Amino acid sequence: MTDFPASDSPAPASSASACPASDSPASASPASRPCPADWEARFRRLVLDDRPFDMRMGFFLAYYRTFTTPESAAQVVRGGALLRDPEKRTIDTGVIIYEIIANGFDSERGEAATAIMNRAHSHVRATNEEFLYVLLALLVVPVRWVADHARTPLDDAELASAVRFVEELGTRMRLTAIPATWEAAVAFFDDFEERRVAPSDDVRQLFDRSAHVFGQMMPAPVRPFTRTLLSALMDDRRVNEALGLAPAPLLARRAIFAAAALASRMPQPASLRFRPGQHVGKTYPRGYTMEQLGPDAPVTPPSAH
Ligand code: HEM
C-alpha cells in the first residue's frame, strides 16, 4: 500500500473543456457513448434540476462505499472525523462534491472544494485502486439507482456526461488509470467489490455511526426502521453483509421501492435543490462558508451562526 499523494499543490492543467480524445482506446470502444461538449453543464442540470431526488439518493448510497473494505475502513477510522462527528463528516462530504458540481471545476468555489478534499486525503494511506473504487461508486451507484427506480434511465448524453465528470474529478485527485467509459467503470467496480468488500470491526463501526445520520434525516416514524430501509436501498447482498445489515423482508423491500419510485416521479420539492452556501440540515442551519468545510475546519456550534 502506498501513501496517496498529498495534493495541496495546484490542480493539473484542466481538461474540463474537452471530452476525451476521440482516438483514445476508451472512446474507440463500440459501447462508448459520444461525450457532449457541454458535459459539465449537463451533469449539473441532471443532478441539481432534473433528478435531484434520485441523484442525491444515489450519492448517499455511494458514500458508504468509502468504508466497505477493511483496509479503507481502517483508514477512515484512523482519519477520525467520522467517529468524532459523523453528521459533519457526512454532510461535508456531500457538500464538497455538490459545490464542485454546482459551480464547476474551474470556478473559485469548485477549486476551493477540490483543494479541501485533496487536503483531507493527504494522510490517507490507500492505493490508486482503492481510490478508484470510491470514485467510481459516485458514478455506478447513482446510475444504477436511476435505472432501477426512476421513471426513465439516463439518456446517452447524460450517461456520458456523468462518466466524464467522474473522470475529471479523479484527474483532479491525481488518480491514474481512470476508466473512461461506463462499461469499463462497471467492470472495474464489480470486480473490485467481488475481491475486496468484506466485514470488519472498523467497517461495522463506521457504518453504525453513519447509518444513524441517515436515520436522523428521515421522518420520525421511519427512524426505528433505518437499518431495514438502508438494507433495502443498498440492495446488495455482499455490501449488506459487510456492513452488518440483515436482509430486508420482501414486503418491506416492495414498500420501500414503491415509495422511492413515487418520490422520483413527484414534482421535486425546492428544498432538494442544492444552493451553494445555504443551510444544510442541523450541521449548517444558517448556511456555511467554505472555511467551515473539511475535517480540519473548526466546528462552529449552530447557535453561533
Ligand atoms: C476518489 C474517491 C473519494 C472521494 C471523492 C472522497 C471524498 C472525500 C471528501 C469530500 C472528503 C472531505 C470530508 C470532510 O470534509 O469531512 C473526504 C475525506 C476523507 N476521506 Fe475520502 N474520498 C474518496 C476516497 C477515499 C478513500 C479510498 C479513503 C480511504 C481509504 C478515504 C478516506 C478519507 C478520510 C480519512 C478523510 C478525512 C476525514 C476523516 O477523517 O474521515 N477517501 N473524502
pLDDT in tens, 10-33: 333 333 334 554 333 333 344 567
Q: Across residues 217-223, what is the average pLDDT?
A: 86
Give the percent of the chain with pLDDT over 90. 77
Whether residue 131 lies inside any domain: the answer is yes
Q: How far is CA 104 from CA 16, 91, 140, 200, in A?
A: 9, 19, 21, 37
Whether residue 17 lies inside any domain: the answer is no
Q: 86 in ligand 1 pocket by Cβ < 6 Å?
A: no
Chain-wide mean pLDDT for the chain?
A: 88
* Gap from CA of 67 to ligand 1 centroid (Å): 10
For residue 148, the enclosing domain spans 37-206
Whether residue 289 lies inside any domain: the answer is no
Whether residue 16 lies inside any domain: the answer is no
Whether residue 301 lies inside any domain: the answer is no
Q: Three-state secondary structure along 22-40?
A: CCCHHHHCCCCCCCCCCHH
Q: Across residues 85-95, what is the average pLDDT?
A: 95
pLDDT of amino acid 31: 53
- Ligand 1 pocket mutation, candidates 60, 68, 121, 188, criterion most atoms within 8 A of CB: 121
Residues 148-176 as b/e (b if ≥16 CB within 10 A, e otherwise) read ebbeeebeebbbbbbbbbbbbbbbbbbbe
pLDDT of amino acid 299: 59
Residue 302 pLDDT greater than 60, yes or no: no
Residue 211 pLDDT greater than 70, yes or no: yes
Q: Whose CA is nearest to atom 26 of ligand 1?
A: 131
Whether residue 169 lies inside any domain: the answer is yes
Whether residue 104 lies inside any domain: the answer is yes
Q: Across residues 64-83, what is the average pLDDT?
A: 96
- In this predicted structure, which of 36-40, 98-102, 110-114 has the lowest mean pLDDT? 36-40
Quick one: CA torsion of 173, 175, 181, 184, rounded to 10 degrees?
-140
pLDDT in tens, 232-250: 999 999 999 999 999 999 9
Q: Across residues 128-143, what is the average pLDDT?
A: 98
d(CA 112, CA 117): 9
The domain total for the chain is 1
pLDDT in tens, 169-186: 999 999 999 999 999 999
* Gap from CA of 294 to ligand 1 centroid (Å): 10
* Gap from CA of 173 to ligand 1 centroid (Å): 11
Q: Whose CA is nearest to atom 29 of ligand 1?
A: 72
- Ligand 1 pocket mutation, candidates 4, 84, 87, 124, criterion most atoms within 8 A of CB: 124
* Gap from CA of 268 to ligand 1 centroid (Å): 29
Q: 227 in ligand 1 pocket by Cβ < 6 Å?
A: no
Q: 280 in ligand 1 pocket by Cβ < 6 Å?
A: no
Q: 73 in ligand 1 pocket by Cβ < 6 Å?
A: no
* Gap from CA of 117 to ligand 1 centroid (Å): 7
pLDDT of amino acid 26: 37
* Gap from CA of 43 to ligand 1 centroid (Å): 22
Residue 298, classed as helix, strand or coil, is coil
pLDDT of amino acid 271: 81
Whether residue 270 lies inside any domain: the answer is no
- Ligand 1 pocket mutation, candidates 66, 98, 207, 288, criterion most atoms within 8 A of CB: 66
pTM of the model as a whole: 0.89
| Dihedral over Cα of 193, 198, 200, 203: its sign | positive
